[in-house]
Amino acid sequence: MRQEIRLESATRLLNHGPVVLVTSIKGDRVGVTPVAWHMPVNRKPPEIALEISQKHFIYECIMNTGDFVVNIPSLKHAEKVVECGSVSGRDVDKVRMSGFNLETSRQVRSPSIKEAIAALECELIRDEHLLKEYNMVLGAVKYASVKEGAFSGHWLFPDDERKTLHHLGNKTFCAPGGEIIDLREKKE
């Protein structure tokens, strides 16, 4: 038997992928914003979509720069993720506040977060309809990197340093803890 939930919570049933920290720049200011609503939209070439409100400073940064980095933080960064999502980048230097260290990206101008488990460097795909109607920011992935031992065609989660952080809503998170069950090679 199932119980009914409020419709305003319905998307949280689907929204348990890893939370990401998006970085981009405007002038000399680096924007850092957690985003839980994201998805791949194409594999070849690799493209992703993020839901980012036009009201957010990171949106201004992305529109200004034309690129961004999707950083995947680990479980140990949960408090920093919440801090970055609790204030505006227009008012607060989130990099300084959080203590994250930035590093130069390989293919885009926006910096990446050194402590992140993985990073996807993206060029903005300008789709005015998706931007205005759905706050959907599309990115063409130009470079991707992951910490050693964390990924081998799928996430491995060997330790807390390399476990992804998953947003469940309302400042609640979880991390994967079970074994990987790979059914691709299952024989009948």
CA distances from 112 to 38, 135, 176 (A): 18, 22, 24
pLDDT digits (tens, 9 = 90+) for 99-146: 999 999 999 999 999 999 999 999 999 888 888 888 899 999 999 999
Domain boundaries of the chain, sorted by first residue:
7-174
Is the pLDDT score of 186 beyond 80? no
What is the pairing mode between strands 112-113 and 67-72? unpaired
Nearest in space to 39 (alpha carbons), one of 27, 47, 31, 30: 47
Reported as a pLDDT band with limits 50, 70 and 90, residue 11 is low
Is the pLDDT score of 12 beyond 70? no
pLDDT digits (tens, 9 = 90+) for 55-99: 999 999 999 999 999 999 998 898 899 899 989 999 999 999 999
64 beta partners: none
pLDDT at position 184: 62
pTM flag (> 0.85): yes
CB of 68 closer than 8 Å to CB of 122: yes
Instruction: Tell me which CATH homologous superfamily contains domain 7-174.
Output: Electron Transport, Fmn-binding Protein; Chain A (2.30.110.10)
126-133's contacts with Cβ under 8 Å and 24+ in sequence apart are: 130/49, 131/54, 132/54
- The share of the chain scoring above pLDDT 90, in percent, equals 54
Alpha carbons 129 and 134: distance in angstroms, whole number = 8
